[in-house]
Homo-oligomer: A and B are copies of this chain.
Amino acid sequence: MKLLIVNPNISQSVTDLIAAEAQRSASGDTQLTLRTAAFGVAYIETRAEAAIGAYATLNELAEHYAGHDAAIIAAFGDPGLEAAREMLPIPVVGLTESALMSAAMLGGRIGIVAISQRIRAWYSETVDRYGMTSRLASIRCLDEPLPNIGSVQQDKGEQLVALCEAAVREDGADVLIIAGAPLAGLARSVAERIPVPVVDGVSCAVHQAELLARLNPHKASAGSYAVPPEKSWTGLSPALGQLIGRQRIS
């Protein structure tokens, strides 16, 4: 099996974290292709940054999906996920979606622990977009500047564990998601210290992508996830243009 993993952020250090955790999670015979967004921001916290990341991600996916069995959008908040799902003939999952769906089978109410206050609104809207708001216990977030996004696990590990415990004791979380690609792997390393099951986005996404590829679903030819209707376009990369329509204007 071959998985394409796109980091919608421009941070190579975060891509490296994702790659390491993804490799640890993948089946023995799974090969991973990692891509980092060609443009955008260091890490996505807002709707504006997510809109930029979505477009960068669609470009990477269009260019590189061929030959893969499934694809992963590797930023919590899943920028461009539904758009990619429409266009690509292979399954695509996001970190938030796959963590939510996995967590939902491990408990009732789901808590999310994240890296910044500002990121909360975007995450909250992402959960709502999947219709899972009634399952959400809370989103608890660090509230300090992050000097180095690549070392946030080391720098803020204790605070993150404390947020996990508060989500269980005060918010009624039955299961936790440690959110955000920069925290990839943390769930595994702190699991012993948390009184409920805890998952992370990267490992859930790799497992769910493999699962969906094994289910071998047909690409929709009807409904709202069929390929967008053919139409004229301009100014897109050839790969993206070919997916979105077939009739280029001049």
Contact = CB atoms under 8 A, between A and B. Distances in A.
Given A43-B231, A130-B104, A172-B121, A83 B51 contact: yes
A195 interface: yes
- Specify which of A38, A83, A192 lies most central, judged by the most chain B CB atoms within 10 Å of its CB: A83
A80 B82 CA distance: 15
A20 interface: no
A61 B31 CA distance: 37
Interface string A230-245: 0111111000100111
Contacts of A43: 231
A102 B195 contact: no
Contact of A211 (B50, B102, B107): B102
A97 B199 CA distance: 18
Contact of A220 (B101, B195, B214, B243): B195
Interface in A118-170: 118, 120-122, 125, 129-135, 168-169
B199 A217 contact: yes
Contacts of A125: 108, 129
Interface of A: 10, 25, 38-43, 45-52, 54-56, 58, 80, 82-87, 91, 93, 97-98, 101-102, 104-109, 116, 118, 120-122, 125, 129-135, 168-169, 172-175, 191-192, 194-199, 203-204, 207-208, 211-212, 214-215, 217-226, 228-229, 231-236, 240, 243-245, 249
